[in-house]
Amino acid sequence: MQDRYLTVSAINKYLKHKLDNDSNLFNVYLKGEVSNLKMHSTGHIYFSIKDETSKINAIMFSGNAKKLTFVPNDGDKVLVTGRISVYEATGSYQIYVSEMEKDGIGNLYLAYEKLKKDLAQEGLFDSKYKKKIPKYPERIGVITAREGAAVKDIISTIKRRYPICEVLLFPSLVQGDNAYKSIIASIDKAEEFNLDVLIIGRGGGSIEDLWNFNEEELARRIFACKVPTISAVGHEIDYTIADFVADMRAPTPTGAAEMAVPNLPDLINYMHNLKVRLNEAINTKVNYQRLYLESVKNSFVIKNPMIMFEAKKQGLDLLVEKLNKSIINNLNNAKHRLELLTSNHIIVNPYELYNDKQIYFNLLKEKLNSGILNNLNNAKHRLELLTSNHIIVNPSILYKDKQIYLDNLINKLELLNPLSSLKRGFSVTYKNNKLVKDINDINIDDELNIKISNGEIIAKVTNKKEEV
């Protein structure tokens, strides 16, 4: 009878086998609220998913947890994908989660926010990098799908507002896997056509439809584009990464066309107003010049030109008279100076100057002769004094005195001679060719040169002792 009873392990194994082989439980999609969340040190996440009336245990292993784009917390509304199975040790069934995203936000939106934050921190959205859209473009490039409302709206708007502008279409994929690569290729192509403005966009759609305009590679290519760019993706409420890196963001493709070109009728009206203002300015200037001309024509000088001539003639006469007076004064002064020169006593009697110089010369001659005689007499007197001098008469006396004085000097020098001290056993010590006078001038291991009477000793300092 006991064979009919199963063990707990057997029933748990059976249930696990049944659940693991149920294809309906291989890939289950659940939504609910996170509760009892525990982050294990291994990286596994243990939690429950509950709704208003029920809950199920869940586990997400570290390999899948690393792929999360957010940090889960209790109370988060989530969408999970996984398989249902039984944990034999406890007999409880649970969902093994492979993917999880926030409900109402989604992974795409989280990835969008993360890329937006990263590019903003790099400065790709900064206004200092935005290129100015020219007011009057001659050639505009459009990157969008070949067929569709967006391209028709852009081209028709440009032709209606500014028909003199040339529009070049660069067809591109704008939806689907890797469509952003087609857009990048179109930007590369567009840069070869000397464009003034480049419009990049498409019509509205879901975040998935617009996702190619949120790709990082496309964002960086738009930022690096040499042509001023206008992003026109989706409707007014739609924002993509392309909108932030472009030089200008348009709410719609039609809005991009309106931003890219002026309205020709408005320009014509503006030019008409300029023409009116210019004509008014010209008329005002002409009238002013006409009045000025009339005032000149009616001036006293123009009507009586001879009066001005007479005034100039009178002024000339005054200048001529002043010049004549100046010439006469200069001639009279020169004549007076000449008279003074011709009446000079020296000029009239030049020999008197010679006689004065002759007298001065004779006086100098007498002084020279007298000086020579005085010098000769003085020399003769000094010679007589010398010949009568005791030393001159007996020069050997002077020699003996000098010899005694010289012997005394030699004895004193011999006492001061350092070689004499060396002969008595003294020595002189040098370090680096400098005399050592103080014990503090030398250090241990210094090399010394010791001078003695008949040679030199080279020694090395191993110790030193300072006397107190």
Residues 141, 239: one domain? yes
Q: Phi/psi of residue 425, each to 5°? A: 105, 0
Q: Position 32: which residue type? A: G
CATH number at residue 211: 3.40.50.280
Instruction: Report residue 37 as tokens.
Output: 């969340």
Report the DSSP pairing between strands 139-144 and 166-171. Answer: parallel
The residue among 75, 104, 133 that closes a domain is 104
CATH number at residue 99: 2.40.50.140
Mean pLDDT (the chain) is 86
Task: For 230-247, write each residue's pLDDT tens digit.
Answer: 999 988 878 899 999 999
* Any domain includes 328: no
Which helix (H) or strand (E) segment is 321 a member of? Answer: helix 305-342
More confident residue, 386 or 32: 32
pLDDT band at 201 (very low <50, low <70, confident <90, very high): very high
Provide the pLDDT for residue 391.
60
Residue 405 to residue 192: CA distance in whole angstroms: 113
Domain that includes residue 54, residue range: 4-104
Residue 254 has pLDDT above 70, yes or no: yes
CA-closest candidate to residue 216, choices 185, 181, 173: 181
CA-closest candidate to residue 72, choices 108, 48, 51, 102: 102
Residues 120, 99: one domain? no
Do 182 and 173 touch, CB atoms closer than 8 A? yes
Residues 200, 116: one domain? yes
Residues 209, 243: one domain? yes
Instruction: Report residue 187 as tokens.
Output: 């930007």
CA dist list (Å): 315 to 211, 300, 318, 322, 323: 94, 20, 5, 11, 12
CA-closest candidate to residue 206, choices 64, 129, 325, 109: 109
Residue 321 to residue 141: CA distance in whole angstroms: 85
CA dist list (Å): 343 to 92, 355, 357: 153, 20, 21
Q: What angle (nearest 5°) sits at the alpha carbon of residue 410, between those of residues 405 and 412?
A: 95
Residues 254, 131: one domain? yes
The residue among 209, 230, 262 that closes a domain is 262
Task: For 162-189, write each residue's pLDDT tens digit.
Answer: 999 999 999 999 998 899 999 999 999 9
Residues 126, 239: one domain? yes
Residues 186, 100: one domain? no
Give Cβ neighbours of residue 223 (< 8 Å, ≥ 6 apart). 124, 129, 245
Residue 135 to residue 90: CA distance in whole angstroms: 74
Task: For 58-73, write each residue's pLDDT tens digit.
Answer: 999 999 999 888 889 9
Residue 408 to residue 401: CA distance in whole angstroms: 11
More confident residue, 148 or 348: 148
Residue 158 has pLDDT above 90, yes or no: yes
Residues 42, 78: one domain? yes
Residues 130, 251: one domain? yes
Domain count, the chain: 2
Mean pLDDT, residues 256-274: 90
Exposure b/e, 324-345, CB count within 10 A at least 16 = b: eeeeeeeeeeeeeeeeeeeeee
Residues 67, 117: one domain? no
The residue among 242, 262, 282 that closes a domain is 262
Residues 119, 98: one domain? no
Residue 229 to residue 242: CA distance in whole angstroms: 10
Residues 160, 61: one domain? no
The residue written with tokens 């001098």 in the block is 389
More confident residue, 184 or 378: 184
* Any domain includes 272: no
